[in-house]
Amino acid sequence: MAFIDEAKFFVKAGDGGNGCVSFRREKFVPKGGPNGGDGGKGGSVIIRAVKGMHSLIDFQYRSHFKAERGEHGQGKDMHGRGGKDCIVDVPVGSVIRSVDTDQVLADLTSDGATFIAAAGGEGGMGNPHFASGTNRTPRIATNGKAGEEFWLKMELKLIADVGLVGLPNAGKSTLLSKLSAAHPKIASYPFTTLEPQLGVMQYKYHEPCIIADIPGLVAGAHEGIGLGHKFLRHIERTSVILHVLDAADENVKENYKIISNELALYKEELAHRTQILVLNKKDLLDESDIETLIIYFRLYCQNVMSISGEMGDGIDYLKETIALTLEQGKI
């Protein structure tokens, strides 16, 4: 199960330029032959998949894409210049559908894959095309064809790399906003009050990654208590689990076990998934108490660190750890 990001947009290719009616004018030649140029072809709207884009968020701000029209032909056999194509970059993995028919038009699965979403109109013909033995001075030319236009919709399946877990109030939402550079808007989710939130983390030269906040985990979630159960399946495909604990909560040790148990009871293999344990809200504790907690939790998890999501303390170190952990997993 993956998250779906959706966008709807309009594409309009350029119209073709019109052909021209024109005749040669030369000294001593009263009526020269036809020399009207052809119209240029309109530009097309081309959708191109590119690596490194991870959301359709840009399409919230721009929903119309138009290519340039072709120039009209002119006298002296001057053909109109073709219109420039309009290239629309989308993330790899985008599926393009027609709004009218819902039919899948393209499934852009590889970097650099392209799809002509709207073809530019052909240019019209200048009057030389209509000259014949009986008509040496044709007064006809044709107009360019209109460029295609469509409403399209695009879907992107987002598979989170990192799942944020922790009891309510541990500081997951706050942390997600600090870790991520962008928040893809997710298509309507069947649960209205509580939705998994996604963030795209982009740190230094590392590949961007997607982090999902899995809300609503409480004791008994694996049996369907709370809404957490609905979201647990999103964790199944994440390669790293980021466990957030409120270090200032006096029950911090029990809280850790509650979440660990829920994960293991939901699926045994989740207990063995690579985990980063984050002791949050360090600003509320003494340094020595934090140190003691870190030593304690190292018995359970290799990767333990303390941060303050709210103050932004330790965030860069955490980002680097997340990025390196993901890269290590890919080797």
Ligand X SMILES: Nc1nc2c(ncn2[C@@H]2O[C@H](COP(=O)(O)OP(=O)(O)O)[C@@H](O)[C@H]2O)c(=O)[nH]1
Q: Does 173 bind Mg ion (CB under 5 A)?
A: yes
Min. distance of Cβ 199 from ligand X in angstroms?
A: 12
Max alpha carbon distance in the chain (Å)?
105
Task: Return the range that interacts with ligand X (CB under 6 A); candidates 49-57, 116-124, 167-175, 216-224.
Answer: 167-175
Is residue 281 a contact residue for ligand X (CB under 6 A)?
yes
Handedness of CA 263, 221, 3, 315 (dihedral sign): negative
State the binding partner of 107 from ligand X, Mg ion, none, CB within 5 to 8 A by kind.
none
User: In the complex with ligand X, which residue's Cβ is closer, 77 or 283?
Assistant: 283
Contacts (Cβ under 8 Å, ≥6 apart) of 192:
none
- 117 or 221: whose CB is closer to ligand X? 221
Residue 109 binding: pick among ligand X, Mg ion, none (C-beta 5-8 Å cut-off by kind): none
In the complex, least distance from residue 258 CB atom to Mg ion, rounded to whole angstroms? 17
306 touches ligand X (CB under 6 A) = no
Site string for ligand X, 283-302 (x = CB under 6 A): xx------------------
Assigned token pair, 41: 């072809």
In this structure, which amino acid lies at residue 25?
R
Q: 47, 309, 319, 322: which one contacts ligand X (CB under 6 A)?
A: 309
Contact 160, 3 (CB under 8 A): yes
**Cβ(68)–Cβ(43) below 8 Å:** yes
Closer residue to ligand X, CB minimum distance, 77 or 313: 313
Instruction: Rule CB under 6 A: say whether 310 interacts with ligand X.
Output: yes
Residue 243 CB neighbour total at 10 angstroms: 25
Distance CA(84)–CA(40), nearest Å, equals 10
Please report how close the Cβ of residue 231 comes to Mg ion at its closest, in angstroms.
12
- Cα–Cα distance, 89 to 117 (Å, whole number): 12
**Residue showing the smallest CB distance to Mg ion in the complex:** 173
Q: DSSP string of 111-164?
A: TT-EEEEEPPPPPPPPGGGG--SS-SS-----PPPPPPEEEEEEEEEE--SEEE
Q: In this chain, which stretch among 106-114, 122-130, 265-273, 277-285 interacts with ligand X, using CB under 6 A?
A: 277-285
Among 93, 121, 171, 226, binds ligand X (CB under 6 A): 171
Nearest of 314, 225, 232 to residue 273 by alpha carbon? 232
Match 């209509």 to its residue by tokens.
130
Query: Which position among 172, 222, 229, 243 is part of the footprint of ligand X (CB under 6 A)?
Result: 172
Q: Give the DSSP letter of residue 318.
A: H
Q: Name which position in 35, 280, 303, 306 contacts ligand X (CB under 6 A).
A: 280
Q: Which does 87 bind (CB under 5 to 8 A by kind): Mg ion, ligand X, none?
A: none
Interface of this chain with ligand X, residues 48 to 77, rule: CB under 6 A:
none
DSSP characters for 37-58? PPPPPPPPEEEEEETT---SGG
Instruction: Enumerate binding residues for Mg ion (CB under 5 A).
Output: 173
Instruction: Enumerate binding residues for ligand X (CB under 6 A).
Output: 166, 168-174, 280-281, 283-284, 308-311
